[in-house]
Amino acid sequence: MKLFFLSGTMAFSLLNVKAQTPAIQDQDPKAKKVLEELSKKMKSYNSFVIEYTRSLKSKDVNETQKGTAYVKGDKYKLDEGDKVIYSDTKNTWTILPKEKEVYVNPIDEKDKEESVNPTQLFNMWEKDFKYRHVKEENGVHEIHLFPMNPKKSKFHTIIMKIDANKQELSSVIIKGKEADEFTFKLNKLTPNAVSDADVKFEKAKYSGYTIID
């Protein structure tokens, strides 16, 4: 399962979600209403900053990391301290300050189709998923997403928790078929707080670094 930050090159790549499927039918109307409100609110922002905690548990990995994502349009910057990642839809730049290295990776069409990055995190439900409203508890909606074509997916369920009052995403839990589990928790969201310079990779800022492409 492709998990964002795991490789350090496909930033915020959640998992393989692209599926060749017929139109979505018989969707849960309550879930759809909550998800549409979330997407509408996020699309009203010209940019946003999210402070997050991510964790991955599997047979071989048990890790937790905090970070900050700066998103404007289709561009973003991720900062986790030991690495910084920029993306402009054509390339990603992964900066490792300790090693003084910058890895440049082109983004091809397959990457775009098979991943969800922070620019898509709040509206990934809009295609290739079935969804169901499971419960509302303590002011939080719990909605489960299921891949329309499970045979082509390496996960079986995405659990989205959405704050009912703020209409904001609280967390995403991705359950893989091999008992692996990825959790993304949104700690703070600040809208309309990102400039073009914040999400643009500037080679001049990394003088003395080795560029690897």
How would you write the pLDDT of the chain (213 residues) with one tens digit per residue? 344 444 333 334 444 444 333 344 568 999 999 999 999 999 999 999 999 999 988 888 898 999 999 999 889 999 998 999 999 989 999 999 999 999 999 987 655 554 556 777 787 788 788 999 999 999 999 999 998 887 777 778 999 999 999 999 999 998 888 778 889 999 999 999 999 999 999 999 999 999 998
pLDDT confidence of residue 78? 93
3-state SS string over the chain?
Answer: CCCCCCCCCCCCCCCCCCCCCCCCCCCCHHHHHHHHHHHHHHHCCCEEEEEEEEEEECCCCEEEEEEEEEEECCEEEEECCCCEEEECCCEEEEEECCCCEEEEEECCHHHHHCCCCCCCCCCHHHCCEEEEEEEEECCEEEEEEEECCHHHCCEEEEEEEEECCCCEEEEEEEEECCCCEEEEEEEEEEECCCCCHHHCCCHHHHCCCEEEC
- First-to-final CA distance of the chain: 24
Q: What token pair was written down for 57? A: 């548990």
Give CA–CA dist 197/192, Å, rounded. 14
Residue 100 confidence (pLDDT): 96
The tokens 């997407």 sit on which residue? 39
Prediction pTM value: 0.82
**Number of residues that make up the chain:** 213
Report pLDDT for 194.
96
